Structure 1
Amino acid sequence: MSKRLLKTGLALAVAATSSHGLASGFAINEQSVSAMGTSFAGRSSAAEDASTLFGNPAGMARLQRAEVYVGAAAIHARSDIDNAGANAGPLPLAGSNDGDMVPATGVPMGYYVKPLDDKVAFGLGVYVPFGLMTDYERGFQGRYHADKSYVRVITVQPTLSYRFNDRLSVGFGPTFNHIEGELSSSLLNPFSPGSNDGKVKVKGDDNSVGFNAGVLYEFSPRTRAGITYHSRVKHQLEGDTRVSASGVLAGLSGKYDANLELTTPESVDLSITHELDDAWTLYLGSTWTRWSRFQEIRVENDAATLPANLATIVEEQNWHDTWAHAFGLSYRLNPQWTLRSGIAVDQTPTNNGDRSPRIPSGDRTIFSVGAGWSPNRDMTIDLAYSYLHEESVAVNHPSATRGDYRARYDNSAHGLAASLSYRF
Structure 2
Amino acid sequence: MKHHHRIAVSLAALAGATALAGVADAQAFYLQEQAARGAGRAFSGEAADTGAASLWWNPAAIAGIEKAEATISTSLILPKGDVVDNGTLIVRPQQAPAPVGGTSPSSNPINKGLLPSGAVAIPLGDRLAVGLAVTSPYSFTTDYDNNSWARYSADRTYLRTFDIQPSLAVAVTDWLRVGGAVNVEHTEASLTNALPNLSAALPDGSQKLAGSGWDVGWTAGFQMHNDWATVGVSYKSAIKHTLKGDLTVGGLLGPLAGQNRTLNDVEASFYTPAQIMVGGRFRATDRLTLNAQTIRYTWEKFDAIRLGAPLNTALPENYRSIWSYAAGLDYAVSPRVTVRAGAQRTLTPTRDGERDARVPDANRWNYAIGGSFDVTPNFSLDAAANYVDFEDTTIDRTTAAYVGSAVQTPILVNGRLEDARAIILSLGGRFRF
Same fold, TM-score > 0.5, yes or no: yes
Matched position secondary structure for 2:416: strand
CA distance in 2, matches of 1:233, 1:345: 25
TM-score by length of 2: 0.91
Matched position secondary structure for 2:413: strand
Matched position secondary structure for 1:144: coil
Give the aligned residue type for 1:46.
Answer: D
Q: Percent of pairs identical after alignment?
A: 28
Q: Give the alignment partner of residue 284 of structure 1, picking from 285, 292, 302.
A: 292
- State the shift of 1:391 in Å: 1.1
Q: Give the alignment partner of residue 124 of structure 1, picking from 126, 132, 146.
A: 132
Cα root mean square deviation, aligned: 1.7
Q: Give the alignment partner of residue 95 of structure 1, picking from 78, 98, 102.
A: 102
CA distance in 2, matches of 1:225, 1:86: 50
Match of 1:306 in 2: none
Alpha-carbon displacement from aligned partner over 1:31-54 (angstroms, at most 9, x marks no partner): 11101111100110021x312211
CA distance in 2, matches of 1:120, 1:62: 6
Residue 34, structure 1, aligned to residue 40, structure 2: no
- State the shift of 1:186 in Å: 0.7
Q: 1:125-164 residue pairs with structure 2 within 5 A?
A: 125-164=133-172
Runs of 4+ with >6 A deviation: 1-4
CA distance in 2, matches of 1:397, 1:120: 51
Match of 2:405 in 1: none
Match of 2:26 in 1: 23
Give the aligned residue type for 1:212.
Answer: T
Q: Give the alignment partner of residue 217 of structure 2, picking from 192, 210, 214.
A: 210
CA distance in 2, matches of 1:324, 1:391: 15
Match of 1:253 in 2: 260
- State the shift of 1:319 in Å: 0.5
- State the shift of 1:5 in Å: 5.4
Match of 1:308 in 2: none
- State the shift of 1:361 in Å: 1.5
CA distance in 2, matches of 1:286, 1:408: 29
CA distance in 2, matches of 1:195, 1:12: 22
Matched position secondary structure for 1:234: strand
Matched position secondary structure for 1:158: strand
CA distance in 1, matches of 2:85, 2:301: 33
Match of 2:275 in 1: 267
Aligned length: 413
Match of 1:379 in 2: 379
Alpha-carbon displacement from aligned partner over 1:281-313 (angstroms, at most 9, x marks no partner): 100000001000111112224x3xxxxxxx223
Contact 1:5-1:188 within 8 A present in 2 as well: no
Matched position secondary structure for 1:8: helix
- State the shift of 1:379 in Å: 0.3
Range with bigger deviation, 74-83 or 262-271: 74-83
Give the aligned residue type for 2:34.
Answer: Q
Match of 2:332 in 1: 332
Matched position secondary structure for 1:13: helix
CA distance in 2, matches of 1:52, 1:7: 42
Give the aligned residue type for 1:216.
Answer: Q
Match of 1:9 in 2: 10
Match of 1:363 in 2: 363
Contact 2:42-2:344 within 8 A present in 1 as well: yes
Q: Give the alignment partner of residue 86 of structure 1, picking from 64, 85, 88.
A: 88
CA distance in 2, matches of 1:327, 1:286: 9
- State the shift of 1:245 in Å: 1.2
Mark the runs of 5 or more structure 2 residues left unpaired by the alignment.
92-96, 401-408
Mark the runs of 5 or more structure 1 residues left unpaired by the alignment.
304-310
CA distance in 2, matches of 1:300, 1:3: 11
Give the aligned residue type for 1:31.
Answer: Q
Matched position secondary structure for 2:151: coil
CA distance in 1, matches of 2:36, 2:65: 17
Q: Give the alignment partner of residue 45 of structure 1, picking from 22, 41, 48.
A: 48
CA distance in 2, matches of 1:288, 1:205: 28
CA distance in 1, matches of 2:151, 2:297: 30
CA distance in 2, matches of 1:399, 1:56: 40
